[in-house]
Structure 1
């Protein structure tokens, strides 16, 4: 497959990584915004993440079926249109001022994202020389890191700065205060309307672009069901590693604007700039990681990065002041290569099981729905949000194990029951 035929399709695929990264990284802005607007606890506010990442669990298998039956192009266009529809739903959600409506809109957005990620990750990985698949996926994911930098800063300026001050709220009656806080939700309409419109335009571009078919390996029986894919031990362990990694990432990013004011005394708006710095560290880490993978084994790098983050989580729990903020920035840097590296290692040598293997790893993103709830519970129970970093600490231990041993390709005999695999 010539580079001339793959360059523009690869550019379009890479744009998807930016778009879903932008959507995901508006969530850390939504959490404190909706927490204030609807007077929620930390655990209730994390329902934003739950609504998003439960969709990954429910939609990953249907996404895999779409890809196998109709192809990657149809899957991508379908994902973009669902993503756009969910974005437009933020307008009636804000008008009705219902927290549940916001959660429904986020769930629909995430259904679209699930289809896009199920398609784009293996497509980017396979669109070129197999020997450089991990580097190529890390490069594409770097634009996800760019969105991680820009979304909090843009979203913070548009959404968080248009609210009532505590002094203004304190002089209002309880009824007026509830109305005023709920009305703040309207500030989300413009960014999500723009996002939805951009998605429709990108979907049209994909409709008129020829996407090269991914070459299938010969001499391999086509996968008939998801259990066939699970005979690959490294895939099963990759699913577990991705579950814990995504849980850790969501804890770090989504709860940062709640964490930074408590740990370092920052205002919410100022915290958005440091969250942007976290995104920038994430972006730089992706590019540096992509370069380093030319010289170092990607699995070994994954293990080392995860081990460093275990130590940084200890600092995030015990330290005070701005050192905690810079520690989280460091965690973001070392998280940068984890998702694409786990993904690429998890689907390595799956051949005809690739679509279902991809679906399984995308399903594991449900860790982002489960583990932030544990983070929030620890924070609410102890009264100290820093203690919540015990959750990502444990997650990075699992990732380190996958990088050390779990990634090794070892196909289990098909005679073994699925329970033995799991």
Structure 2
């Protein structure tokens, strides 16, 4: 790896960088392949969840355990890397490199995809959960490596733009994933079929083959290894905190299994205890930062909370939407069937694609006027892709045309954000909060469009949060990345919380108040991150503004 890229891995105040570092476009092009498959599989769970709920006769809370198994693996995988690195006194990812880490992660996902086959043949929901866990375990290693790898392939201040590009490719996978899964399970609208075990088996055989192919592409590609020469500093206290969080989650799971404590109480308790532990850890690190590693930085702590909430709300909007659309009286008098609801699930994940494709424009060296024009055209090109793939499936796309009004609102929000991490995050959080409230207090297409527009708002939040959270942490960048990836744990907690509330008398429709609360809390965290970084002499919004002149 070049000395230039080695220096980039130490993401410090980019004001210290004398000249802007060019993006390694060749390496970035290969890297974004893995982003596609994360999206394809994650969004496919949106169809698998209502299918399993019906097939195994589950409650809404129980059906959300698919997401818990999937996203819980992100926490478990990143935790293993973090703890073992501390035991060995060496950063595992620095030993193997980001490139090999991604390859190993892909091979683990291959094993999980192949295990789906005996799981479905045994008609075992628990076995399916284990298989999903292993697939996502591989994803955890891939994401822990890919996020800082993408940021390292260019100037630190534009790291969010490269993540947006990867996110745009990821969102194409999320757009077509639900449609392909729906076709495998239920056929097309014009030619519906009975779902069968063989359909699922064939699908995951194909998935395993693609994972293997991408691993081979990475192995033969001339990518930098993705290592740095910074000395590793142990973080025993941080490891202890993470193991404590793990213990709390396990204890809550056991309580849910063997007691009558309501599930939503347990989910809320996990969230509250998580916040107390993280804030207490930061308070102790301020007194003595020895042994805390990246957790001694307050931006990392708030970044962890932000990722927990962001990923949780992104997933919960969608994972509970399929069941809501089936409820008579919500969208229409009879409710939608699974192969019909895939239209709106695809639109949700496609909405993330719309925003991420637009956000990715900043990667390219466009003039101000060209970029402004593209910022209006590209969202509708992405919308055209959504309409096209749904049309090919046989869906009636005429019901989606009115959604273009929400896209216009999102375009305005992105223009206001001006590619600035804090400003963009804040504007989108406000828009999303309003949208969720509209969705809760209306029904029919208005409500569905409001909930689905959450995808437009979530689209570029991840890179904004990630860039702010690892700003100024220097040699702790890899460790901070692992901590942030662990907080994908939010998608294992928040969707079941909403599902459990949906099982109560409040109902699934009103349970979307959870999503509104999440976006509101993200707006607060955005302010905290900005203030923390400014106190350290970092202002990414100003740096982006200066680099555009």
User: Residues 25, 381 of structure 1: CA spacing in aligned structure 2 closer, same or farther, 3 A cutoff?
Assistant: same
> For residue 114 of structure 2, what is the aligned residue in structure 1?
88
User: Residues 290, 209 of structure 1: CA spacing in aligned structure 2 closer, same or farther, 3 A cutoff?
Assistant: closer
> For residue 417 of structure 1, what is the aligned residue in structure 2?
none
User: Residues 63, 116 of structure 1: CA spacing in aligned structure 2 closer, same or farther, 3 A cutoff?
Assistant: farther
User: Residues 278, 87 of structure 1: CA spacing in aligned structure 2 closer, same or farther, 3 A cutoff?
Assistant: same
> For residue 248 of structure 1, what is the aligned residue in structure 2?
313
Contact 2:421/2:467 (<8 A) preserved: no
> For residue 73 of structure 1, what is the aligned residue in structure 2?
99
CA distance in 1, matches of 2:227, 2:155: 11
Contact 2:325/2:341 (<8 A) preserved: yes
User: How far apart are 1:280 and its partner, in Å?
Assistant: 1.7
> For residue 533 of structure 2, what is the aligned residue in structure 1?
409
- Superposition CA RMSD, Å: 2.5
CA distance in 2, matches of 1:19, 1:229: 29
Is residue 513 of structure 2 the alignment partner of residue 390 of structure 1? yes
Q: Secondary structure at the match of 1:319?
A: coil
Q: Secondary structure at the match of 2:316?
A: helix
Is residue 168 of structure 2 the alignment partner of residue 142 of structure 1? yes
> For residue 277 of structure 1, what is the aligned residue in structure 2?
347
CA distance in 1, matches of 2:516, 2:324: 16
Contact 1:6/1:212 (<8 A) preserved: no
User: Structure 2 length normalisation: TM-score?
Assistant: 0.68
Deviations 1:188-233 (A, max 9, x none): 11111101111111111211223224475x9x76432252101111
What does residue range 145-294 of structure 1 map to in structure 2 within 5 Å?
145-161=171-187, 184-214=196-226, 216=228, 222-225=232-235, 226=238, 227-262=292-327, 263-265=330-332, 266-291=336-361
Is residue 41 of structure 2 the alignment partner of residue 11 of structure 1? no
User: How far apart are 1:260 and its partner, in Å?
Assistant: 2.1
| Structure 2 unmatched ranges of 5 or more | 6-20, 86-91, 239-291, 362-413, 537-549
User: Structure 1 length normalisation: TM-score?
Assistant: 0.87
Q: Secondary structure at the match of 2:495?
A: helix
**Partner of residue 496 from structure 2, selected from 356, 363, 373:** 373
Q: Secondary structure at the match of 2:143?
A: helix
User: Residues 270, 362 of structure 1: CA spacing in aligned structure 2 closer, same or farther, 3 A cutoff?
Assistant: same
User: Residues 215, 199 of structure 1: CA spacing in aligned structure 2 closer, same or farther, 3 A cutoff?
Assistant: closer
What does residue range 92-107 of structure 1 map to in structure 2 within 5 Å?
92-107=118-133
CA distance in 1, matches of 2:61, 2:124: 18
Q: State the number of aligned residues.
A: 393
| Structure 1 unmatched ranges of 5 or more | 163-167, 169-179, 413-422
> For residue 328 of structure 1, what is the aligned residue in structure 2?
451
User: How far apart are 1:258 and its partner, in Å?
Assistant: 1.1
CA distance in 2, matches of 1:131, 1:57: 27
